[in-house]
Amino acid sequence: MSEIFPDPINPADYDTQLTEKKDRLNTLFAEFAPPTLEVYDSPRSHYRLRAEFRLWHEGERCFYAMFEPGNRSKAYEVREFNIASTLINDLMGRLLAEIHASELLRRSLFQVEFLTTLSGDALITIIYHKKLDEAWETEARAMQARLGFPVIGRSRKQKIVLERDYVTETLTVDGKQFHYRQIEGGFTQPNGDVNQKMLSWARSASEGIGGDLVELYCGNGNFSVALAEKFDRVLGTEISKTSVNAAQVNITDNNLDNLIIARLSSEEFVQALRGEREFHRLKSQDIDLSSYNFRTVLVDPPRAGLDDESVQQISEYDNIIYVSCNPETLHANLMELCKTHEITRFAMFDQFPYTHHIETGVTLKRRKNVSTEITQQNAQ
């Protein structure tokens, strides 16, 4: 018999773990003398909008399974998952009952993924070690109707979308509603409540700057959509075609006329901005980079942070909004950026409670007379 997976959270411990993270950030960034750390906490439970589980089989019975870190020899049964949204917890039981009732749906099923939203939408992906045929699709469609949410079936080189492969999220930020299409398999912020706080912080940091904004690594436009009204024009760059397509939908759904998403990597954007290369993708969208007055850049890079060339590129902007999921790589990037800029806002967003992961936000403003300072440094 399987053992029950232990509850990974204890809400009574939340304030202690939050204080530990605050102390860690303040110590790590002390050398930059940043302003007072702004702390944005998380709901104590049911905060995660995504979850995935192995489906473990014991004879005719199966269950959601998780493993101890670094040890996959023993599967623990997951009956409820207090980290995940209440909707995920509800769907876990309902989906499992459907699977137990159908040998066709249960056979060779090995993984289940849930994607939910604060606004009550959900998407369920079930993944198999077998080819999915018409009989499976008929049975899965009947299950989808009973569950009331769309289902996707996946197996090797197969993706069967029974209705749609996305959810629609509505976030409320500063009393305004923003609508987002979030694609199955694409990146989304896992903690919706904290994401709303993060967007509000970024909007506040953008007040009064003016000019145009460029966002690198913009994904589905999470930040660009919420910040569009704060700038004259916004250009987002993203290399993933799927994310770009979702962002285009989000531009339309939010009735924005000053936001454009270009399918370029950050490196390609720099080449285009400097006139080193021409890109048909820019011409096809009638994007003239020379017409923009970019005064602010926003970056939310992966855990590896920014490479040296990207750091050099964003240092050329007067204002930088940098959101990081890795304090160590942010610290390394700030070692260079603080040669030309000073930190004006310093924030912690507890996207991942009860873990060591920390989401950090800083805003930087170009220091006065920085050109003179650099010239003197070079002379030395």
**Which tens digit of pLDDT belongs to each residue from 245-269?**
999 999 999 999 999 999 888 788 8
The structure tokens listed for 365 are: 């403003």
Contacts 24+ apart (CB under 8 A), 14-22: 14/41, 14/42, 14/44, 14/353, 14/354, 17/353, 17/354, 18/350, 18/353, 21/348, 21/350, 21/358, 22/348
Q: pLDDT band for 370, please (50, 70, 90 cuts).
A: low
The structure tokens listed for 369 are: 């007379």
Measured CA to CA, the distance from residue 212 to residue 227 in angstroms comes to 11
pLDDT > 70: what percent of the chain? 97
Give the sheet arrangement for strand 122-128, strand by strand: 3-4, 71-77, 61-68, 50-58, 109-116, 122-128, 151-155, 158-161
Q: Judge whether 43 and 193 are in contact, CB under 8 Å.
A: yes
Find where tokens 């998952």 sit: 81
**Residue 380 clears pLDDT 80, i.e. is over it:** no
- Whole-model pTM over 0.95: no
Give the homologous superfamily in CATH for domain 11-44+171-379: Vaccinia Virus protein VP39 (3.40.50.150)
Residue 216 β-bridge partners: 299
Q: What is the pLDDT of residue 374?
A: 42
**Residue 148 clears pLDDT 70, i.e. is over it:** yes
Q: What is the mean pLDDT of residues 49-75?
A: 89
Q: What is the pLDDT of residue 371?
A: 55
Q: What is the mean pLDDT of residues 226-235?
A: 97
Q: What is the pLDDT of residue 192?
A: 98
The CA angle 285-289-290, to the nearest 5 degrees, is: 135
Measured CA to CA, the distance from residue 240 to residue 263 in angstroms comes to 7
Q: What is the mean pLDDT of residues 109-114?
A: 98
- Specify the higher pLDDT residue, 360 or 272: 360
The CA angle 208-214-215, to the nearest 5 degrees, is: 110
Q: What is the pLDDT of residue 377?
A: 41
pLDDT > 90: what percent of the chain? 78
Q: What is the pLDDT of residue 355?
A: 93
Q: What is the pLDDT of residue 376?
A: 37
| 48-167 CATH choice from 3.20.20.70, 3.40.50.920, 3.40.50.2300, 2.40.50.1070 | 2.40.50.1070
Q: What is the mean pLDDT of residues 51-76?
A: 88
The CA angle 308-311-312, to the nearest 5 degrees, is: 90
Residue 58 designated active-site: no
Classify 375 as helix, strand or coil: helix
Measured CA to CA, the distance from residue 225 to residue 250 in angstroms comes to 7
Q: pLDDT band for 372, please (50, 70, 90 cuts).
A: very low
Q: pLDDT band for 2, please (50, 70, 90 cuts).
A: low
**Residue 356 clears pLDDT 90, i.e. is over it:** yes
Residue 359 designated active-site: yes
- Specify the higher pLDDT residue, 76 or 97: 97
Q: What is the pLDDT of residue 331?
A: 97
Measured CA to CA, the distance from residue 125 to residue 184 in angstroms comes to 8
**Residue 121 clears pLDDT 60, i.e. is over it:** yes
Q: What is the mean pLDDT of residues 47-76?
A: 89
Q: What is the pLDDT of residue 273?
A: 83
Domain ranges of the chain: 11-44+171-379, 48-167
- Specify the higher pLDDT residue, 113 or 67: 113
Q: What is the mean pLDDT of residues 192-216?
A: 97
- Specify the higher pLDDT residue, 1 or 239: 239
Residue of 98, 169, 238, 359 marked catalytic:
359
Which phi and psi (to 5°) does residue 96 adopt?
-65, -40
Q: What is the mean pLDDT of residues 102-127?
A: 97
- Segment 278-328, tens digit of pLDDT: 888 888 888 888 899 999 999 998 888 888 888 999 999 999 999 999 999
**Residue 379 clears pLDDT 70, i.e. is over it:** no
Q: What is the pLDDT of residue 211?
A: 96
Q: Please state, rounded to an integer, the average pLDDT across all residues of the chain.
A: 92
**Residue 369 clears pLDDT 80, i.e. is over it:** no
- Segment 74-88, tens digit of pLDDT: 888 999 999 999 999
Classify 280 as helix, strand or coil: helix
- Specify the higher pLDDT residue, 283 or 341: 341
Residue of 325, 328, 336, 373 marked catalytic:
325
Q: What is the pLDDT of residue 157?
A: 94
| Nearest of 287, 172, 176 to residue 235 by alpha carbon | 287
Classify 111 as helix, strand or coil: strand
- Segment 8-26, tens digit of pLDDT: 788 999 999 999 999 999 9
